[in-house]
Structure 1
Amino acid sequence: MTPSATLSNKTAIVTGASSGIGHATALALARHGANLIVTARREDRLRALVDDIEALGARAALHAGDATDDATARQTIALAIAEFGRIDILVNNAGAGSDRNLIDTTVEDYDDLMDTNMKSSFLFSRHAAPIMIEQRSGTILFIASVAGLQGAAGESVYCAAKFAQVGFAQALDAELRKHNIKVGAICPGGTKTEFAVGRGRTEEWVRDSEMMQPSEVADAIVFVCLQPPNVRIPQMTVRHMG
């Protein structure tokens, strides 16, 4: 099984694909032969990503928009069907973080964290699921966090959003498995991304940390997507060695 053909003719949607884990995951899926629909708010970055995907020999299209907007989810799903005729993989990666104590967290912070992490996951899953049910196949992954498995001081609302993602994934696994759809939550530890920069973290702190590279997390995501038809991974924790 050669890497360039393992996901050949599969169509994957990656949200939050303009940077970090989403960007790395889109490229990793393309290296394994998948066609990509990438979405995020920053269109210039998406266009550069599409160029990089096509340079790998895969096909790609983009939809720029806010993942918390229902119209963005609907239009991205419609684009996947128009371009490739099916949806095999949905990676709900769009997210935001915050390293702030409760008393320093505003209502606006709460709404942003819950919407970006959880509402976006609901919207894209809600509109992709009917297509996968009709196909009798598909994989829906939620890029949650170890913060969705154990609470941490200074991350109360972020933990709440990620716990919600993990619970949502567990419920959908039970609901959709009868339709031959695999659902799983990937729970990475610290990763060197733009996550929480300006919300309690600095670029220097991230750069000098022992955290994982986005590509390392992306390899774990691809591993889940490559499982044989009768194997599902409902939950995976990925941690660095620090």
Structure 2
Amino acid sequence: MSDGSLAGHVALVTGSGGGIGRAAVLEFAARGASVVGVGRHPDEADALRAEAEALGGAYLHITGDVIEPGTAASAVTRTLEQHGRLDTLVNNAGVGMYADFVDATVADYDEIMGINMRGTFLFTRAAVPHMISQGSGLIVQVASQAGLQGFPREAIYCASKHAQVGFSRALRRELQPHGIKVGVICPAAVRTSFALGRGRDEESLLHEEHFLSAKDVASAIVFMAAQDKGARVTEVSMISLGEAL
């Protein structure tokens, strides 16, 4: 049952098939919002739609790869066709790798920077003109503590997340005169399949107290979206009580 606090709100969420993205779809739906999700796997869409509708929201799935300009353009166009507006863009799709830098390849670099930063750029570029026209909007980047500090065996991932943070800080100032808010969320480790990335195994996820939940991060995203028109939450740093950072 929706609580109605975001009734009429329209959100576009990338990486909606699992983890933080899926949790964000359901958190928005529980507030009565309509959500358009972007993911690579269409077979996940029906179950997610059913859950969103059961919570009192609505869900439309777009299948595509976030590194392709056509996916971003199509997702924004479909959102506007379906709902007539776009209130919140959540750039959540991401990939991680945990390995010694000397073992990294050019392909690793291109994949990580492509999904994490190119995807963010493409979807933001597609959404901003419409948000300027409507005189409002929120853009949320799901970055990481790796966007605020450096971690060994995560150099490329850290670079991509630092890029997201810098991108957000610059856009926040540029888009403020148009009534558009820009925020970035920097969670530490989150207990999802993403936490494994490449280079970790299930043993590394055994300590529950060291991890946030996907719902923790989704709640922060929706908190940003629920602020009054004149209020902005620009950066959220999230760390579990059990993690020593």
Matched, 1:221 2:224: no
Which amino acid is 1:106 matched to?
T
State how far apart, in whole Å, the 2-side matches of 1:85 and 1:40 are.
Answer: 22
Q: Deviation per CA, 1:176-224, whole angstroms, max 9, x where unpaired? A: 0000000011000000111152511123422544211101111111111
Q: Which residue of 2 aligns with 1:241?
A: 241
Q: Which residue of 1 aligns with 2:89?
A: 90
Contact 1:12 1:34 in 2 (8 A): yes
SS in 1 for 2:177: helix
Contact 1:12 1:36 in 2 (8 A): yes
Contact 2:28 2:57 in 1 (8 A): no
Unaligned runs of 5+ in 1: none
- Computed over aligned residues only, the root mean square deviation of the Cα atoms, in angstroms, reads 1.3
With 141-150 and 210-219 compared, the bigger mean Cα shift is at: 210-219
State how far apart, in whole Å, the 2-side matches of 1:47 and 1:15 are.
Answer: 17
State how far apart, in whole Å, the 2-side matches of 1:241 and 1:66 are.
Answer: 35
Q: Using a 3 Å threshold, how does the CA distance of structure 1 residues 27 and 102 change in structure 2: closer, same or farther?
A: same
Q: Which residue of 1 aligns with 2:107?
A: 108
Q: Which residue of 2 aligns with 1:74?
A: 73
SS in 2 for 1:39: strand
Per the normalisation by structure 1, the TM-score is 0.96
Q: Which residue of 1 aligns with 2:140?
A: 141
Q: Which residue of 1 aligns with 2:177?
A: 178
Unaligned runs of 5+ in 2: none
Q: Deviation per CA, 1:94-133, whole angstroms, max 9, x where unpaired? A: 0001111111111111000000100000000000000100
Which amino acid is 2:98 matched to?
D
SS in 2 for 1:21: helix
State how far apart, in whole Å, the 2-side matches of 1:146 and 1:185 are.
Answer: 11
State how far apart, in whole Å, the 2-side matches of 1:92 and 1:12 are.
Answer: 11
Contact 2:189 2:195 in 1 (8 A): no
Q: Using a 3 Å threshold, how does the CA distance of structure 1 residues 54 and 3 change in structure 2: closer, same or farther?
A: closer
Output aligned runs, 1:9-28, within 5 Å: 9-28=8-27
Which amino acid is 2:214 matched to?
P
State how far apart, in whole Å, the 1-side matches of 2:2 and 2:56 are.
Answer: 12
Deviation at 1:234, TM superposition (A): 1.2
State how far apart, in whole Å, the 1-side matches of 2:56 and 2:178 are.
Answer: 32
Contact 1:17 1:46 in 2 (8 A): no
SS in 2 for 1:116: helix
SS in 2 for 1:195: helix
State how far apart, in whole Å, the 2-side matches of 1:181 and 1:56 are.
Answer: 28
Deviation at 1:3, TM superposition (A): 6.3
Contact 2:2 2:55 in 1 (8 A): no
Q: Using a 3 Å threshold, how does the CA distance of structure 1 residues 45 and 204 change in structure 2: closer, same or farther?
A: farther
Deviation at 1:86, TM superposition (A): 0.4
SS in 1 for 2:176: helix
Which amino acid is 2:46 matched to?
R
Deviation at 1:57, TM superposition (A): 1.8
Which amino acid is 1:77 matched to?
V
Q: Which residue of 1 aligns with 2:118?
A: 119
Deviation at 1:58, TM superposition (A): 1.2
